[in-house]
Amino acid sequence: MANTATPNTTTRTVRTAKKSGLAVAALGIVVFNISPLLNWVHLENTDTSRTGYETDSLVPFIAYLGIGLLLAMVYAGKRARRGQHRGLTLVSMAVGIAATLQCILFALNPMGGLERGDELSAQIGVFVGIIGAAIWAIGSGLLAKEIEGDDHEDRDHTGRADSAHR
C-alpha cells in the first residue's frame, strides 16, 4: 500500500508595513512644500516681505528633497517584500527632523539678513514649515517602526532566527 499522505505544507502570511505612516509623511511633505511659497521674513520698518524662495535657497531644496524621499519610499514600498525599506524611511525621518530644527531656529533668529544688516522678523511661512516638517518626521517615524525584513515573526524567544527560514 502506497503512502497517500500529503506533505505538510504550511503557508505563512507575510506581514507588511502599514501605509498610515507613509500617508502622514506625505501630508507633512506637501505642507512643507507649500511653505516656501509663503512669506518667511518681514523687513522691520518697511512694507517688504520675502518668501521662502527669496529668503534662503536651502528652504526649497529641503522641500524638493522631501518630494524625492517620498517618491523613493513609495517605490521601495512597492518593491519591498514587507512593504518598506527601513533605511530609506530613517533617512526621511532624519531629514524631517533637520527641516523642523532649521525652521524652529529660523523662527527664533531669521537668517539671510545678517550679512546685509537687515532687521528681520519671522512670518507665517516659517511656522507652516515647522508644522509640515514635524508631521513629515513623525510620519516617517511611524513607518520606520513597522515590520521590515526578518523583523519579529521569524525570530524565536531568544532572538535567534528560526532555523526553518535560513
Interatomic CA distance for residues 32 and 17, integer angstroms = 24
CA distances from 111 to 72, 82, 97 (A): 31, 42, 19
Question: Could you tell me the three cell numbers for 38?
Answer: 509663503
Residue 65 lies in a domain: yes
Q: What is the mean pLDDT of residues 2-17?
A: 61
Distance of CA 134 to the CA centre of its chain: 9
CB half-sphere exposure, 114, CA atoms < 13 A: 6
Tell whether 140 is covered by a domain.
Answer: yes
| pLDDT of 150 over the 60 cut | no
Q: Does 50 fall in a domain?
A: yes
Cα separation, 74 vs 52, whole angstroms: 27
Residue 145 resides in a domain: yes
What does pLDDT average to over the chain? Answer: 81
The CATH number that applies at residue 42 is 1.20.140.150
Residues 6+ apart with CB under 8 A from 166: none
In the chain, the number of structural domains is: 1
Please report whether residue 138 resides in a domain.
Answer: yes
102-115 pLDDT, tens digit each: 999 989 888 765 55
Is the pLDDT assigned to residue 163 strictly greater than 70?
A: no
Position 85 in a domain: yes
CA distances from 101 to 22, 27, 91, 162 (A): 21, 18, 15, 42
Does the residue 40 lie in any domain?
A: yes
Position 165 pLDDT exceeds 50: no
Beta bridge partners of 49: 42
* Model pTM score: 0.76
Does residue 40 sit in helix, strand or coil? strand
pLDDT in tens, 45-97: 888 888 888 888 889 999 999 999 999 989 888 876 665 777 888 999 999 99
Q: Is residue 78 part of a domain?
A: yes
What percent of the chain lies above the pLDDT cut of 90?
A: 41
Q: Which domain holds residue 143?
A: 25-149
